Amino acid sequence: MTIKLVGAIIVVGASSILGFALAAPFAQRPRVLRALQAGLERLETEIDYGLVPLPAALRRSARGLAFPASRLLETAADELETGDGLTAGEAWTRSLEHWDRESSWNAEDREILGEIGGWLGSSDRENQKRHLRHVLDRLKYQEALARDEQSRGERLFKYLGVLGGLALAIILL
Amino acid sequence: MSERERIEREVIRWLPENLRRLVADLGPDLEDLEEIRLRRGRPLAFTLPGRNLLVDWLVTADDIERTLQIITRGSLYAVGDELCNAFLTLPGGHRVGLAGRTVLQNGEIRALKEINGVNVRISREVPGAADHLLPHLIRPSGGAHSTLVLSPPGCGKTTLLRDLARQLANGRPGLTPGLRVGIVDERSELAACCNGVPQRDVGLRTDVMDGCPKARGIVLMIRSLSPEVIITDEVGRLEDVEALLEAANAGVAVIASAHAYGVSDARQRPSLGRMLQAGLFQRLVALKRQPHPGTVAEITDGQGNPLRRPVREVTARP
């Protein structure tokens, strides 16, 4: 009887852990979207108030951000400074392509980020600010959606793990 | 570093890839290159000594856009004020002149839009351009005479002033111990400041007031930086006269340049005539372009009487 009880506890425990592990990636996308917004907000400040040249502005904005938002901004700055004669937009696009595989943004997020390559650095202060505001609004909306998805997905997998384990244990007992 | 390498490193790197190749195609002419001109929809042009070369490439809007982006390091927003002056200064002191549509507000230029022309002027420093002239501009006490340098454009006035600043500030054994020099650089051409750092060697004891209107700058300099010599480019407006008078009465020597064919010509210009009448200058120097820029045509005292000692040729070829 004791052995059966220990076995049942192990089964429930293992399946719960599996459930939690499957739920974890759902938290990733909102976190990345949040970090991206923080970075772009800082970029807006650097551009609008600081009039900081773009490579320096990108680096400053990247400081302290979570991966991959930090690396996205830094790589864009690197690309700009290689001296290959890239425009700011091209440098951004390259960086985005580089980090595509390792990041958890979805197609819609990707499209919003991709649009930045169309205007970054190529217009006056007011215009840059307007564009950045627009991107930030859309990312915020994406973040809200992602959070929604997160809470639903997380709950689903966590319950599934625990309850599945219980069901299995009962069947086996 | 050879002249060619210098141009490649300091100028050509700011051009987009496709234009870099066209410039490189110049071959040995590259060393004498004076200007690279981009005009939208028209052939790429190079200015070389004595000729204007058109290249078989029509400059596109994209070429101009890219050039601007590379020059501003993708930060067009950060150079709004410079764009209002229609030029940017590159590290190394090279100037990029811009043509476009100006946006006016209350009669002031607020922005430059639809840029359709870019002119990259390659600047060259000529250390020693003032070598032969300097002895004539120094007082027995070691201070400097107030001097007005006169010539039409393109005769080497700015180059001469820059070298005078350098030599006066560094000092020259047997002539001057080194003076505190103040440069009022209204058009950023003398010191060619880039992010506040002079890109030209203007001497060890030199302060630069960059982009400052001459008349204001001279007064500010006297008040706060106590220069012994003030050097400034292109005087000739009426308000300049007063600022120069102020400097003269404060015991500060002024070395300035102005557009005029010669000493007698300068008297005809209203503002210059008044400066000469007031006895602001003790030396007048006229330059000519032949046989090469920087050649001294005449040098006189403040009244226009030639100096007794003749000036040897000033060699200003790089």
Rg (CA), chain B: 20
Q: How far apart are CA B183 and CA B206, in angstroms?
A: 7
Q: Which amino acid is at B141?
A: S
Nearest to A55 by CA among A99, A34, A33, A86: A86
Instruction: Report the largest interatomic distance among the alpha carbons of chain B, rounded to a whole angstrom.
Output: 59
CB atoms within 10 A of CB A18: 15
Answer whether B93's CB lies under 8 Å from B194's CB.
yes
Q: How far apart are CA B41 and CA B178, in angstroms?
A: 51
B14 CA: distance to closest CA in chain A (Å):
7
Using CB atoms, which residue from A55, A80, A125 is nearest to B80? A125
The interface predicted TM-score (ipTM) is 0.74
Give the pLDDT confidence of B47-79 residue by residue, as tens digits.
887 788 898 899 998 899 889 888 888 888 888
Taking only residues 96 to 125 of chain B, the set having a beta carbon closer than 8 angstroms to any beta carbon of chain A reads 111
For residue B308, what pLDDT is reported? 64
| Residue B44 φ/ψ, nearest 5 degrees | -60, 135
E strand or H helix that includes residue A118 = none
Check whether B311 has a pLDDT greater than 70. Answer: no
Q: How far apart are CA B218 and CA B222, in angstroms?
A: 6
Across the interface, whether the CB atoms of A121 and B72 are under 8 A apart is answered: yes
Predicted TM-score (pTM) of this structure: 0.73
Interacting residues of B196 by C-beta distance below 8 A, sequence separation 6+ = B210
Q: How far apart are CA B68 and CA B14, in angstroms?
A: 9
Give the pLDDT confidence of B253-263 residue by residue, as tens digits.
999 999 888 88
B163 CA: distance to closest CA in chain A (Å):
32
Residue A124: list chain B partners with CB under 8 A.
76-77, 80, 111
Nearest to A42 by CA among A64, A60, A29: A60
A144 CA: distance to closest CA in chain B (Å):
31
Nearest to A102 by CA among A26, A20, A43, A28: A28
Tens place of pLDDT per residue across chain A (173 aa): 788 888 888 988 898 898 888 888 888 888 889 999 999 999 999 988 888 888 989 999 998 888 888 999 999 999 888 867 788 888 999 999 888 887 778 888 889 988 998 888 888 888 899 999 999 999 999 999 999 989 898 889 888 888 988 898 888 87
E strand or H helix that includes residue B95 = strand B95-105
Q: How far apart are CA B218 and CA B205, in angstroms?
A: 17
**Residue B314: band (very low, low, confident or very high) from pLDDT cuts 50, 70, 90:** very low
Q: Give Cα separations from B259 to B77, B265, B272 (angstroms).
A: 35, 10, 10
Answer whether B151's CB lies under 8 Å from B157's CB.
yes
Q: How far apart are CA A135 and CA A37, in angstroms?
A: 9
